[in-house]
Structures are given as C-alpha cells and as structure tokens.
Amino acid sequence: GGKAADLGKNVGDDFREGKITLPVILAYRRGTEKERAFWREAIETGNNSDENLEKALGLITKYGALNDTIARAVHYGTIARDALAPLPETPWKSALMEVIDFCIERVN
C-alpha cells in the first residue's frame, strides 16, 4: 500500500489514458531494443490491456523510473523555493510556495 501503490495507480491511469509521462520516457530510454519496441507498440496502438499495463509497470520499476521522477520533482522544487527565497513575503510568494509544496507532495 501507501505512496508506492498510489504512484503505481497514477502511472497505471496515465498508461491507460495514453499519456507519455516522465516515468515512461525514462523507462523507454533505459530499455533494451525489445522493451522499446513494446513501448512504441503500446503507445502507437493504444493497447493498454491489463497484460501491457503490468509489463509497463514492471519496466518502470526495473529501471527505477518512478524513483528518479520523484527525485527530479524534489530537485526542481528545491530550485524553485531557493529562487523565491530572497523575495519579500507577499500573498503571491506564499501562493507560489504552496504550489511547489503541492507538486512535490503529489509525487513524493
């Protein structure tokens, strides 16, 4: 259960909807030619069967694509916070900080 299951569910939903997300891109880039052929076929034909979903999640896990996606989100969130830090405290700055926190919490 927990966050990993939630992320797997989100990735699964995205796969079913034909969305090409960062975990898919990373798994594709890191995959063998045979695995890349799977991704191309699944994306081009929209074949999002349970079997393909299971294979997709397996490849994303195999190549650490979810963990790397989370790490990138945290990294860029930190850069964004650091960029906002010197600005005066205003409702706009607070709103931007909340957006950053929301985005990181969503993937973390």
pLDDT in tens, the chain (108 residues): 445 455 556 778 888 888 899 999 999 999 999 999 999 999 999 888 999 999 999 999 999 999 999 999 999 999 999 999 999 999 999 999 999 999 888 776
Q: CA angle at residue 42 from 37 to 46, to 5 degrees?
A: 150
**AA letter at 98:** E
pTM above 0.85, yes or no: no
Contacts of 21 (CB under 8 A, 6+ apart): 11, 14, 69
